[in-house]
A and B are shown apart, each in its own frame.
Chain A
Amino acid sequence: MTTSEPVGSMIHVRGLAKTYTGRKEPVHAVRGVDLDVTAGEIVGFLGPNGAGKTTTLQMLTTLLEPTSGEARVAGHDLRTDPAGVRRSIGYVAQGGSAGSDARVGEEMLYQGRFYGLTRPEAQRRTDELLERLDLGGLAGRDVKTLSGGQKRRLDIALGLVHSPALVFLDEPTTGLDPQSRSNMWGHIAGLRTRAGTTVFITTHYLDEADALCDRVLVIDDGRIIATGTPDELKRQVSGDLVALGVTGDPGEVLVLARRLPGATEPAVEPAPAAGLASAGGAGASRVTFRVPDGERVVISLLHDLESAGVALTGVSVHRPTLDDVFLTLTGRTLREEAA
């Protein structure tokens, strides 16, 4: 090892890269990633499809040989002690992991035995985890008869059977309906509160990263392009988006808005496209601008506008999403990429 590992480190990665031999030229799936995850963190790995999320994850879970780079995962060197890494981590792959012809309970039992648990230990963990992940009573069912949400929870249970200190979840909620998604978020957040488990989760859902993660790493084209708490990242977008529906002359509003400290991107658009000024009728328009700490600032702005006699039809303040962050960082939206 050439780099020193910080105290309490769960994942410590330097210069991790994967290059495939392409037909014409080498394909750089991951181009030298550095990252650190501290024990007990829930870290989101965010990026569009093809950005290198899954490739990075497969390298960190010993499934794929890195072309170059160093990594210590859960205290074990990826290069010299892959078996040690495997013993200490849980991995829930993107496409699921239970055999469709197998039975739920047996799949869990064998998974426990694969990790070296004795039969009674494996049985105890199976009962405990199936119960905890709302799969109680399904042990005798064939995996192929489970619903999408049940199957995904079984995947998680399989990844947890040996009580790993670190769990990798690859897009755990992709393809789930909204209710199953929020239910799954509860289970993932519960991993830490219950056992202090460190969670490394890839997603291309921004709300998911926002809701679950202490910290987010944004990866694009095989490189980490930003890292920080969701709030820190959102602050990179210059402020909240404020929108005001105006019936009269929007010029007055613009003047006042420009005076606000840190206000940027002032714009006026005719209202019919804007849905805000529904009561405005003809001549109404929509004024937008970005300003730090928008929710507080807008209160005094409303006072000023009232004193100036400007009639408003509506007001909204949008905190920036990680989607906006991604757009700011790359000039592209995540959704274009995901499509």
Chain B
Amino acid sequence: MTRSVRVAEPIAVGAVSPAGPVTAGRPAGSNPLRDTLLVFSRAIGISVRNPVWLVMGAAQPLLYIFLFGPLLVKFADMPGFPPGNAWQVFVPAILVLLGLFGGAFAGFGLISEWRDGVVDRMRVTPMSRFALLFGRVLRDVAVLLVQAVLLVLAGVLMGLRAPIGGVIVAILIVAVMGVTMSSGGYAVALKVKSEDALAPLVNGIMVPLMLLAGVMLPITKGLAPDWLYYLSRCNPVVYVVEACRAAFLGDFASHQFWIGLAVAVALATVCVAWASRVFTRLSR
């Protein structure tokens, strides 16, 4: 597509024209932080009034903890199983799972907002383009944090014991993962603009990502055939899972922790930049 004219520049910071006819109040769009908080607070207000998604999103991971987690307890003694007891290995992985699916499904909410005309209405306001995206991402992260705490409590109920500092750090890493998935989910949602197209796409990407990250059973050299082990090393999510597991052991010195953290931050940066671009240049 020829793009000889650029209309929608991202964040026209401080572009205040003196000759503008009747502009009300302070110039909006000059404060991305204020704009982000506004978008966030509108979105979270709607989410809090309709908490069904909060519960729905946490339901499946909770089922895994209650109905699958207990099976792992005896596996923890097997050679090849990662260090720590079964819950220290399983709960952090389920947290990452929550981040993967919760964020990606945020795209569905955005499609319905887009269909209502809310997205375009907000794009015509002078607010920062980045805020339109990031305010929503922050709402998703807030929901994710509540769900993550629920999951950890469920884990404790089932027998999880882990250093509190490590659990908090792991939840923060999952929050970073949530930023990645929700902004990625938004970008894809705005590209396809139809729930029917998004659902198979989300499942088609998420299920292999989840399995290859060793969420259900860790994919270690000792447990997996070589080809599966090396395939899983190509999946960036596996490093995030390992970082969370390291955090649950309080093992902040391990290279797994730092590599996973770096991968999580890198993924989030790329996805936010991409989604921000999609929000800005959205057409049709």
Closest partner residue, chain A, to B12 (CB atom) = A83
Chain A 10-33, CB within 8 Å of chain B: the 1/0 string? Answer: 000000000111000000000000
Min CB distance A119 to B, Å, is 11
Closest partner residue, chain B, to A68 (CB atom) = B4
| Bound-complex Cα distance A62 to B15 (A) | 15
Chain A 34-58, CB within 8 Å of chain B: the 1/0 string? Answer: 0000010000000000000000000
| Bound-complex Cα distance A319 to B17 (A) | 47
Q: Which one, B19, B20, B28, B118, contacts A99 given CB within 8 A?
A: B118
Residue contacts A-B, CB under 8 angstroms, 24 given: A19-B2, A39-B21, A62-B8, A62-B123, A66-B7, A67-B2, A68-B5, A74-B21, A75-B17, A81-B17, A82-B9, A86-B29, A87-B29, A87-B126, A93-B121, A95-B117, A102-B46, A111-B121, A115-B24, A115-B125, A116-B26, A118-B25, A155-B117, A163-B22
SS of A interface (majority): loop
Residue A98 interfacial (CB < 8 Å): yes
Contacts of A67 in B (CB 8 A): 1-5
- Cβ of B121 and Cβ of A158 under 8 Å apart? yes
Residues of B147-166 at the interface with A, using a CB-CB cut-off of 8 Å, are none
- Cβ of B15 and Cβ of A83 under 8 Å apart? yes
| Bound-complex Cα distance A100 to B109 (A) | 11
Residue B113 interfacial (CB < 8 Å): yes
Residues of A64-107 at the interface with B, using a CB-CB cut-off of 8 Å, are 64-69, 74-76, 78-79, 81-84, 86-89, 91, 93, 95-102, 106
Contacts of B46 in A (CB 8 A): 99, 101-102
Residue A63 interfacial (CB < 8 Å): yes
Min CB distance B277 to A, Å, is 13
Question: Which one of B5, B20, B46 has the highest number of Cβ atoms from chain A below 10 Å of its Cβ?
Answer: B5
Closest partner residue, chain B, to A114 (CB atom) = B125
| Chain A residues packing against B (C-beta within 8 Å) | 19-21, 39, 59, 61-69, 74-76, 78-79, 81-84, 86-89, 91, 93, 95-102, 106, 110-111, 113-118, 121, 155, 158, 162-166
Residues of B40-59 at the interface with A, using a CB-CB cut-off of 8 Å, are 41-42, 45-46, 49-50
Task: Count how many chain B residues have C-beta atoms less than 8 Å from C-beta atoms of the other chain.
Answer: 50
- Cβ of A79 and Cβ of B6 under 8 Å apart? yes
Min CB distance B276 to A, Å, is 16
Q: Which one, B22, B116, B284, contacts A98 given CB within 8 A?
A: B116
- Cβ of B123 and Cβ of A63 under 8 Å apart? yes
Contacts of A79 in B (CB 8 A): 5-7
- Cβ of A65 and Cβ of B7 under 8 Å apart? yes
| Bound-complex Cα distance A290 to B21 (A) | 46
| Chain B residues packing against A (C-beta within 8 Å) | 1-9, 12, 15-17, 19-29, 35, 38, 41-42, 45-46, 49-50, 112-113, 115-118, 120-127, 281-284
Min CB distance A12 to B, Å, is 13
SS of B interface (majority): loop
| Bound-complex Cα distance A69 to B7 (A) | 11
Min CB distance A123 to B, Å, is 13
Q: Which one, A65, A98, A165, contacts B281 given CB within 8 A?
A: A65
- Cβ of B121 and Cβ of A88 under 8 Å apart? no
Contacts of A89 in B (CB 8 A): 124
| Bound-complex Cα distance A31 to B50 (A) | 45
Closest partner residue, chain B, to A122 (CB atom) = B25
- Cβ of A78 and Cβ of B25 under 8 Å apart? no
- Other than the known A65-B281, A84-B15, A116-B126, what 19 A-B pairs have Cβ atoms closer than 8 Å? A59-B7, A63-B124, A64-B284, A65-B283, A67-B3, A69-B5, A81-B12, A86-B124, A88-B21, A93-B117, A97-B121, A98-B121, A99-B118, A101-B49, A111-B121, A115-B24, A115-B25, A162-B25, A165-B21
Q: Which one, A66, A75, A99, contacts B21 given CB within 8 A?
A: A75
Contacts of B6 in A (CB 8 A): 65, 79
Contacts of B26 in A (CB 8 A): 116, 118
- CB-CB under 8 A for A98 and B117, given A84-B17, A116-B27: yes
Min CB distance B145 to A, Å, is 21
Min CB distance A164 to B, Å, is 7
Across the A-B interface, the 3 shortest Cβ-Cβ residue pairs: A116-B28, A83-B12, A97-B121
Q: Which one, B16, B21, B38, contacts A110 given CB within 8 A?
A: B38
Q: Which one, A21, A64, A100, A110, contacts B42 given CB within 8 A?
A: A110
Closest partner residue, chain A, to B46 (CB atom) = A101
Contacts of B5 in A (CB 8 A): 65-69, 79
